[in-house]
């Protein structure tokens, strides 16, 4: 069954890395994955969007048509990227502090991901991995163990411990 996930925010929040880690976790479980992104010219601050498609059969068209889940870490990202969610089944996940005006959508999950990262992990830098934990729990596509293994592999060795903590906190926040 094909699943389509969109992660959005601003440049520097790490949504592309989170998407890559999610895709790797799905690959670990034997799924087919494609991951793509689009971003503006800014290294920091511009709009950033990453997509992951997961399926059991080879994936051809590489972009999302109708997302199952959209995660937005800024107001602008939420406004821009929730529109094509399936109104009956889709889920919008937002950072509850950074997305004050919640879009009019039936299923919105609010999580203070940035606050969890800065207050409970110690740095805003870990926002994306907290968000990844949330996404793993909500999407039910990959196991938390596969996510752990992928985080372990992708992040710099000296940050593994904090990233694991961020993943657990995100996973348990919803």
- Taking the least distance from each CB to other proteins, the nearer of 13 and 114 is 13
Least separation, in Å, of the C-beta of 111 and other proteins? 26
- Taking the least distance from each CB to other proteins, the nearer of 43 and 87 is 43
Least separation, in Å, of the C-beta of 62 and other proteins? 5
- Taking the least distance from each CB to other proteins, the nearer of 41 and 104 is 41
- Taking the least distance from each CB to other proteins, the nearer of 60 and 104 is 60
State both tokens at 69.
């889940």
- CB of 46 closer than 8 Å to CB of 72: no
Least separation, in Å, of the C-beta of 94 and other proteins? 25
Least separation, in Å, of the C-beta of 150 and other proteins? 9
Residues 47-86 as b/e (b if ≥16 CB within 10 A, e otherwise) read bbbbbbbbbeeeeeeeebeebbbbbbbbbbbbeebbeebe
- CB of 20 closer than 8 Å to CB of 7: no
Residue 162 CA to chain centroid, in angstroms?
18
- Taking the least distance from each CB to other proteins, the nearer of 48 and 139 is 48
Percent helix, strand, coil in the chain, to 5, is: 40, 20, 35
Binding site for other proteins (CB under 8 A): 20, 23-24, 27, 31-41, 59-63, 65
C-alpha 99/C-alpha 55 separation (Å) is 30
Least separation, in Å, of the C-beta of 47 and other proteins? 11
């Amino acid at each position: 069954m094909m699943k389509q996930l969109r992660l959005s925010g601003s440049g520097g929040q790490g949504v592309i890395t989170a998407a890559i880690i999610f895709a790797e976790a799905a690959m670990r479980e034997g799924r087919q994955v494609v991951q793509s992104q689009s971003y503006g010219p800014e290294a920091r601050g511009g709009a950033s969007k990453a997509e992951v498609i997961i399926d059991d059969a080879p994936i051809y068209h590489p972009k999302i048509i109708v997302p199952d889940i959209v995660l937005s870490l800024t107001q602008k990202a939420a406004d821009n990227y929730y529109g094509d969610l399936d109104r009956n089944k889709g889920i919008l996940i937002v950072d509850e502090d950074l997305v004050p005006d919640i879009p009019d959508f039936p299923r919105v999950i609010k999580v203070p991901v940035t606050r969890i990262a800065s207050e409970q992990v110690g740095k805003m830098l870990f926002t994306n991995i907290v968000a990844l934990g949330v996404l793993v729990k909500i999407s039910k596509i990959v196991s938390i163990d596969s996510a752990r293994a992928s985080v372990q592999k992708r992040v710099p060795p000296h940050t593994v411990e904090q990233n694991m903590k961020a993943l657990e906190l995100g996973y348990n926040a919803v």
